[in-house]
C-alpha cells in the first residue's frame, strides 16, 4: 500500500465510530512534517531537568514508536543544570548538548511556561497520554528546625544558589554580605559550591555565567571567612574530593581546620573505600600537615579563610540586640556513636557560639506534592514508587529526586531515570500499561491551555531566549547573561 493510501486508511480508521475525536486529523503530525500513527504510545513528562530529559532520551532511543511531550513550569528548560550547577563548573553543563538533541528529535516536543497542578491537572494529563512521568525534582527547602531560623540574614542554599544562577523566583533575594564571617550548615557539594562562590575572586567569577546582580553584590562583599559545619566527622562528610580540592586551591584563600576534629582519623583511614579514603587523606593533609614552601607562600598572601567544622549541630540562630537579624549561631558539640556512614551524632551537652552575620542552610532540598490525587510520602518527601512505578496509580511514573530524594550527582539521576524509562517500557510490552487505544496527547492539552489563556513556549522559542542570552554574555566577556524574569523570557520567546 502506498504511503498516501496508508495515511487515508489510518484517518478513516481514526474517524470511524469515534465521533468524539472528529476534527483531530492532525493528531499524528509532529509539527516537523512527519506523520506518526495515531496509535503510537504517547508519554508526557512533567519537568525538564536532568531527570525529565534522561527519561525522554531513553524512551525515544529504545522505542521507535513512542512520542514524548515534556512540560515545564518555566519558559526555559534544563532545571538544575541551568539553575543549580555552579557558574564556575561549565563542564557539568555540557549535558545540555545531549538534552538539546533529545528535544530536537522529531518524536519529542517541549512545552515551557506550563504549570502542571495549576494550568493543567495530572488527571487531565492522564486522560490525554498513555503514561505520565513526574520528574519535577525537589524545589522545597528543608527547615533547620531551630529558633531564629527566620531572622534576616538566614538563607537556604537552594535560594542562595538560585539567586546567583538566575532563578526568577530568587531574583529579589538580595543577600546582605556586609559581615566578615558566614556559616554554612551542611557539608555536601552544594555547601562547598556556596562557600567557593562567596570566597572566589571576582575576576574569576566575571568569566562565568553568574548573574550580573550577584557579581556586583559579591564584588562589594565583606565576607572573608566561611565555616562549613557538619554534625558528624571527617569520615562522614558528604562532598566529593573534587570539591574539597577546589577549596584547597582557591586563589587568595587559605584553609583553617581544627586538629581535634581529626583525632583517630589517620588510624581508621586504611579500612575506608577508595573514594572515601582519597577524600579523607586530602582533608587530613590540609588540616594537619605543614604545607610546602610554595603553598606556604601562597597562604601567607591569602586574605580569605575557609574551614570545615565537624561534630557540630545548630541549636539556635542568635539575633542582634534589636532582634532584627542574625548576629551568630549556637552550635551543639557532638560525639559519634558507631562508625563509617552509619555513625550517629550524639549530643555531649556542650555548646559553643560563633559570631557571624550570614547563615546559609545547606541541609538538603525536598520535593513537594503536585496534585492531591498523586500519592505523596510527606515524611520522605518523595512519591512512593517501585522502580519508578507510582504505587496504586496505573500509568503514573516518577524519576529523579522525586523518586529517590535529593541524592547523588547528575550521573546518578541519569541511571535512575533510565531505570524508570525501562520500567515504563516493560509495562507497555507486558500489557500492564494499555497502549492499544488512541490518546490525543498534546492536542487536547493545548486546547485546554488555550481556553485558560496559557501560551506554551516551544523549544524553538527557547532557542530565541538562548541566542539573546549568549549575545548579551558575549558583549560582556561571559558565556551568557541570563534573562532574570519570566516576563523578559516570554517577551523574547514571542518575538
126 and 188 belong to one structural domain: no
Q: How confident is the model at residue 296 (pLDDT cuts 50, 70, 90)?
A: confident
8-state DSSP, 397: E
Helix (H) or strand (E) segment spanning residue 255: strand 253-255
344 and 378 belong to one structural domain: no
Q: Torsion over CA of 243, 248, 252 and 257, rounded to 10 degrees?
A: 120
- Evaluate if residue 403 carries a pLDDT over 80: yes
Report the CATH number that the domain containing residue 148 is assigned in CATH: 3.50.50.60
CA–CA separation, 326 vs 345, rounded Å?
26
Q: How confident is the model at residue 17 (pLDDT cuts 50, 70, 90)?
A: very low
Cell numbers 528546625: residue: 145
- Whether 477 is covered by a domain: the verdict is no
First to last CA, the chain: 44
CA–CA separation, 333 vs 129, rounded Å?
53
Question: Mean pLDDT over all residues of the chain?
Answer: 90
203 and 348 belong to one structural domain: yes
Q: What is the pLDDT of residue 36?
A: 40
Q: What is the pLDDT of residue 483?
A: 98
284 and 135 belong to one structural domain: no
- Evaluate if residue 4 carries a pLDDT over 50: no
Domain range spanning residue 440? 13-139+367-457
Q: How confident is the model at residue 14 (pLDDT cuts 50, 70, 90)?
A: very low
- Whether 447 is covered by a domain: the verdict is yes
8-state DSSP, 454: -
Q: How many CA atoms lie within 13 A of 55 on its CB side?
A: 38
CA–CA separation, 138 vs 141, rounded Å?
8
- Evaluate if residue 299 carries a pLDDT over 90: no
CA–CA separation, 375 vs 407, rounded Å?
21
Would you state the cell numbers that stand for residue 106, as one nine-digit string? 522529531
CA–CA separation, 125 vs 232, rounded Å?
44
Domain boundary residue, one of 323, 347, 364: 364
- Whether 488 is covered by a domain: the verdict is no
Instruction: Check: CB of residue 335 under 8 Å from CB of residue 348.
Output: yes
Domain boundary residue, one of 313, 338, 364: 364
How many structural domains is the chain composed of? 2
CA–CA separation, 325 vs 478, rounded Å?
35
**Helices 157-165 + 212-220 axis angle, to 10:** 110
Distance of CA 10 to the CA centre of its chain: 42
Report the CATH number that the domain containing residue 447 is assigned in CATH: 3.40.50.720
Instruction: Check: CB of residue 121 under 8 Å from CB of residue 81.
Output: no
Domain boundary residue, one of 322, 343, 364: 364
Q: How far is CA 166 from CA 78, 170, 178, 374, 474, in A?
A: 13, 7, 21, 30, 17
| pLDDT, average across residues 160-180 | 96
58 and 156 belong to one structural domain: no
Query: Worst-scoring range by mean pLDDT, 159-173, 221-235, 402-416?
Result: 402-416
304 and 339 belong to one structural domain: yes
- Evaluate if residue 249 carries a pLDDT over 70: yes
Taking residue 279's Cβ as centre, other Cβ atoms within 10 Å add up to 22
Q: Residues with Cβ < 8 Å from 36, sequence gap 6 or more?
A: 28, 29, 30, 65, 67, 107
Q: Is 122 left (phi over 0), alpha (psi -120 to 50) or beta?
A: alpha
174 and 241 belong to one structural domain: yes
CA–CA separation, 279 vs 258, rounded Å?
17
Distance of CA 144 to the CA centre of its chain: 20
- Evaluate if residue 306 carries a pLDDT over 70: yes
pLDDT tens digits, residue range 108-124?
999 999 999 999 999 99
Residue of 413, 183, 132 whose CA lies nearest to 312: 183
pLDDT tens digits, residue range 307-343?
999 999 999 999 999 888 999 999 999 999 988 788 8
**Helices 95-103 + 50-62 axis angle, to 10:** 50
Q: How confident is the model at residue 154 (pLDDT cuts 50, 70, 90)?
A: very high
DSSP-assigned beta bridge partners for residue 184: 228, 360
Residue of 459, 442, 428, 433 whose CA lies nearest to 64: 428
Q: What is the pLDDT of residue 15?
A: 36
267 and 375 belong to one structural domain: no
Angle at 416 between CA 375 and CA 402, to 5 degrees: 30
Helix (H) or strand (E) segment spanning residue 54: helix 50-62
Q: How many CA atoms lie within 13 A of 316 on its CB side?
A: 9
User: Which pTM was predicted?
Assistant: 0.89
CA–CA separation, 285 vs 406, rounded Å?
30
Instruction: Check: CB of residue 46 under 8 Å from CB of residue 116.
Output: yes
Instruction: Check: CB of residue 120 under 8 Å from CB of residue 447.
Output: no
- Whether 425 is covered by a domain: the verdict is yes
186 and 330 belong to one structural domain: yes
Q: How many CA atoms lie within 13 A of 457 on its CB side?
A: 27
- Whether 482 is covered by a domain: the verdict is no
292 and 170 belong to one structural domain: yes
CA–CA separation, 30 vs 70, rounded Å?
14
451 and 315 belong to one structural domain: no
Q: What is the pLDDT of residue 339?
A: 80
Handedness of CA 368, 236, 194, 471 (dihedral sign): negative
155 and 118 belong to one structural domain: no
DSSP-assigned beta bridge partners for residue 318: 328
Q: Residues with Cβ < 8 Å from 317, sequence gap 6 or more?
A: 144, 146, 147, 148, 149, 151, 154, 326, 328, 329, 330, 359
- Whether 465 is covered by a domain: the verdict is no
- Whether 109 is covered by a domain: the verdict is yes
Amino acid at each position: 500500500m502506498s504511503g498516501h493510501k496508508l495515511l487515508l486508511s489510518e484517518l478513516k480508521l481514526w474517524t470511524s465510530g469515534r465521533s468524539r475525536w472528529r476534527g483531530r486529523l492532525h493528531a499524528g503530525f509532529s509539527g516537523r512534517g512527519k506523520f506518526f500513527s495515531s496509535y503510537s504510545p504517547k508519554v508526557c513528562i512533567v519537568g525538564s531537568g536532568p531527570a525529565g530529559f534522561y527519561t525522554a532520551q531513553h524512551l525515544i532511543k529504545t522505542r521507535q514508536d513512542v512520542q514524548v511531550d515534556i512540560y515545564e513550569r518555566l519558559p526555559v528548560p534544563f532545571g538544575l543544570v541551568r539553575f543549580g550547577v555552579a557558574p564556575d563548573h561549565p563542564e557539568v553543563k555540557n549535558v545540555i548538548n545531549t538534552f538539546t538533541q533529545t528535544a530536537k528529535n522529531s518524536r519529542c516536543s517541549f512545552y515551557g511556561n506550563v504549570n502542571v497542578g495549576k494550568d493543567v491537572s495530572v488527571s487531565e494529563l492522564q486522560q490525554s497520554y498513555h503514561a505520565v512521568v513526574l520528574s519535577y525534582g525537589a524545589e522545597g527547602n528543608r527547615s533547620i528546625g531551630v529558633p531564629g531560623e527566620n531572622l534576616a540574614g538566614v538563607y537556604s542554599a537552594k535560594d542562595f544558589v538560585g539567586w546567583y544562577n538566575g532563578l526568577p523566583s530568587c531574583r529579589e533575594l538580595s543577600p546582605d554580605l556586609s559581615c566578615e564571617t558566614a556559616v554554612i550548615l551542611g557539608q555536601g557539594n552544594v555547601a562547598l559550591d556556596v562557600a567557593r562562590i562567596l570566597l572566589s575572586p571576582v575576576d574569576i567569577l566575571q568569566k562565568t555565567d553568574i548573574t550580573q546582580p550577584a557579581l556586583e553584590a559579591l564584588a562589594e562583599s565583606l565576607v572573608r571567612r566561611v565555616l562549613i559545619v557538619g554534625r558528624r566527622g571527617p569520615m562522614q562528610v558528604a562532598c566529593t574530593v573534587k570539591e574539597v580540592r577546589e577549596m584547597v586551591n582557591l586563589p587568595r584563600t587559605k584553609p583553617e581546620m581544627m586538629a581535634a576534629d581529626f583525632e583517630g582519623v589517620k588510624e581508621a583511614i586504611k579500612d575506608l573505600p577508595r573514594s572515601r579514603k582519597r577524600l579523607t587523606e586530602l582533608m587530613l593533609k590540609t588540616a594537619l600537615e605543614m604545607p610546602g614552601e610554595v603553598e606556604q607562600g601562597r597562604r601567607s598572601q591569602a586574605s580569605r579563610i575557609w574551614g570545615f567544622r565537624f561534630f557540630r549541630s545548630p541549636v539556635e540562630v542568635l539575633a542582634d540586640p534589636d532582634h532584627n537579624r542574625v548576629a551568630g549561631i549556637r552550635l551543639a558539640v557532638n560525639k559519634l556513636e558507631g562508625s563509617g556512614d552509619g555513625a550517629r551524632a550524639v549530643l555531649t551537652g556542650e555548646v559553643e557560639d560563633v559570631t557571624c552575620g550570614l547563615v546559609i542552610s545547606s541541609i538538603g532540598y525536598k520535593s513537594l506534592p503536585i496534585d492531591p490525587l498523586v500519592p505523596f510520602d510527606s515524611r520522605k518527601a518523595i512519591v512512593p514508587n517501585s522502580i519508578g512505578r507510582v504505587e496504586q496509580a496505573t500509568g503514573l511514573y516518577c524519576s529523579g529526586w522525586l523518586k529517590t530524594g535529593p541524592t547523588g550527582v547528575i550521573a546518578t539521576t541519569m541511571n535512575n531515570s533510565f531505570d524508570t524509562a525501562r520500567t515504563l517500557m516493560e509495562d507497555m510490552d507486558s500489557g500492564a500499561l494499555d497502549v492499544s487505544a488512541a490518546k490525543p496527547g498534546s492536542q487536547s492539552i493545548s486546547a485546554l491551555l488555550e481556553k485558560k489563556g496559557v501560551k506554551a513556549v516551544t523549544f524553538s522559542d527557547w532557542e530565541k531566549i538562548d541566542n539573546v542570552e549568549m549575545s548579551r554574555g558575549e558583549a560582556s566577556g561571559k558565556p551568557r547573561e541570563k534573562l532574570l524574569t519570566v516576563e523578559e523570557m516570554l517577551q523574547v520567546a514571542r518575538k
